[in-house]
Amino acid sequence: MLSGIVGSFAAFGLPKRVRAQLLPVPQKPTRPIVFKNFRLFDGKTPSLRSNLNLVVQGTHIRSVDGNAPPEGALAIDCKGRVVMPGLIDAHVHTIMESISIVEATTAPIGFVYAVAMRAAGAQLLRGFTTVRDMGGPSFGLKHAIDAGIVIGPRIFPSGAFISQTSGHGDYDLPNDVPRPIGQMGYAERMGMTAIADGADAVLMRVREQLRQGASQIKMMAGGGIASTYDPIDVSQYTPEEFHAGVEATSAWGTYVAVHAYTPDAIRTALSAGVRCIEHGQLADAATAERIVRKGAWWSLQPFLNDEDALPLPKDSPNYAKQLQVTAGTDTAYKLARSHGAKTAFGTDILFDPRAAARQGAQLAKLARWYAPAEILKMATSDNAALLAMSGPRNPYPGKLGVIEKDAYADLIVVDGDPLSNIKLIADPGKRFVLIMKDGAIYKNTM
């Protein structure tokens, strides 16, 4: 029944279920909280500060200074541990990270959401208090988290990713074409993807995502690994189609990000006004220079041919595409550094709960190219600056990714110094002894 899709993705299998429980949503304290006796990484400064009191009141940080805390505050003695901002992952798929591709594209949507709710709680308990969702029907999950029904990170949703027929977002079965105009496959009906061919169709599909609350829009500009029909080298969408997406999005005060690996795909997207490149592993020096000259962001992921790579059959076309992409990762990071690109961190975990559990370990991999302070800054204040590009569509206006006065009270207490040993963030279950989001404590083992 699923000959095309199942044949290509048999190695994904049916994953073990996410083991995180649906934890109760904690009540926000009714009195201020003061953190004492800690060293601070504020999300910006590449060194730790001491002799401070950090006061949280309600959902925000009231003060970070050496002054006496307010009377009646609840005191938390950190015993010399490090306090840092909650982590931000700039490229996630909250609905699809911990479910197999077969289930994601065939199972009842209620089942898909049930898995996603557990996965969202697990993500928060890994210290990721904010994420940018780069494709999938995450609006309902975001609303449930914001309403305090389930726990999870803040979500900046893109809604369905916009793809051409045969593009990286086309997950229909091989025998679904020719397709009558207007007919949608399951992934489209569930809001995971939106197939749009021609400028008018792109306008409509982009506007649909904005109507539902998208904070930014994701379009597919080139071939991908986990898709069936498109080789990596294929460029997708014409300049006119990109212009349509950018025009519709700009009218709402936000931006378009694109999935792209190759110079041609990146160049076409940038020329149309796209402001963020996702991936870009096969970029060359001229492309890196173009990204910087256009003032765009480069959202990179540490894709390597290692234990976190997609578990694909080694004789499959998808595995060959994965090798092609991972071979370019080292060069891409070096180009981003040497050209001074505005670089974001993301994981892009899909269909693999095992890899999802290693979200912090993937961040720690950046030690191959960056110093620990640079890594943590990228995953906090730098990523927050990217998220702020959504302007009036920002669902959480205010300061994220920093520990300073009037910022959201999203923070982690780390048992150890991650600026000296970045590997600590790879073990959040042991090393993250307190996790706070929006002024509420979700974990405290101190």
Residue 438: CATH number of its domain: 2.30.40.10
Question: Tell me, what's the pLDDT at 53?
Answer: 97
Give the SS3 label for residue 223.
coil
Whether residue 38 lies inside any domain: the answer is yes
Are the C-beta atoms of 216 and 158 separated by less than 8 Å?
yes
Give the confidence band of 186 by pLDDT, cuts at 50, 70, 90. Answer: confident
On whether both 242 and 298 belong to a single domain, the answer is: yes
In angstroms, the CA 132 to CA 129 distance is 11
- pLDDT tops 50 at residue 12: no
The DSSP-derived string for 159-177 is -SEEE-TTSTT----GGG-
Question: Tell me, what's the pLDDT at 145?
Answer: 97
- pLDDT tops 60 at residue 17: no
- pLDDT tops 70 at residue 280: yes
On whether both 270 and 313 belong to a single domain, the answer is: yes
Would you give the DSSP letter of residue 391?
G
Whether residue 385 lies inside any domain: the answer is no
Domain containing 289 equals 87-369
* CATH number for the domain that contains residue 227: 3.20.20.140
Would you give the DSSP letter of residue 212?
H
The number of distinct structural domains making up the chain is: 2
Give the confidence band of 5 by pLDDT, cuts at 50, 70, 90. Answer: very low
pLDDT 10s digits, 40-84: 999 999 999 999 999 999 999 999 999 999 999 999 999 999 999
pLDDT 10s digits, 233-259: 999 999 999 999 999 999 999 999 999
Mean pLDDT of 4-23: 41
- pLDDT tops 70 at residue 291: yes
On whether both 273 and 365 belong to a single domain, the answer is: yes
More confident call, 323 vs 310? 323
pLDDT 10s digits, 194-226: 999 999 999 999 999 999 999 999 999 999 998
Q: How far is CA 22 from CA 71, 82, 151, in A?
A: 35, 28, 7
- pLDDT tops 70 at residue 270: yes
In angstroms, the CA 382 to CA 84 distance is 14
Mean pLDDT of 308-334: 94
On whether both 44 and 62 belong to a single domain, the answer is: yes
On whether both 110 and 132 belong to a single domain, the answer is: yes
Question: Tell me, what's the pLDDT at 22?
Answer: 56
